Amino acid sequence: MIFGHIGIKVLDMEKSLKFYESVLSANLLKDYHYPECRLVFLDVGGTVIELIGMKTNTQKTAGPIEHIAFKVDDLGEKIQLLNDLGIPYTRPREVGTARIVFFDGPNNEKFEFVAKI
């Protein structure tokens, strides 16, 4: 078995694409337009994320995924990026040998940046 991707429902595809590209440095892999939905596949640090834009995605509800974490080399740099973009985040804290922050995406996704101490 090989890992495929993580699928995330989105409320506004353009807003979501801008967020994923500017905050997570996502690269577009595929963009499918169908009458009932739009599916966009992104490479985010070697992980494939599928953004699912359905005409019925109208509520912000928490999904079954608790959060998606990305390892970063410089947490301070990522915190500055979040500040520059006006994206709120949790107070940085240390957990074991890592320093972490959490922040929300435009569709109520929860993300974590993790840096080794």
- pLDDT tens-digit series, residues 65-95: 778 989 999 999 999 999 999 999 999 999 9
Split at pLDDT 50, 70, 90, the class of 61 is low
90: tokens are: 């949790």
Residue recorded with tokens 């993580």? 6
pLDDT in tens, 21-44: 999 999 999 999 989 889 999 999
Q: Which of 113, 92, 117, 97 has its CA nearest to residue 45? A: 113
The fold adopted by the segment(s) 6-116 is 2,3-Dihydroxybiphenyl 1,2-Dioxygenase; domain 1 (3.10.180)
Distances (CA, A) of 76 to 10, 54, 69, 92: 28, 35, 16, 10
pLDDT of residue 107: 87
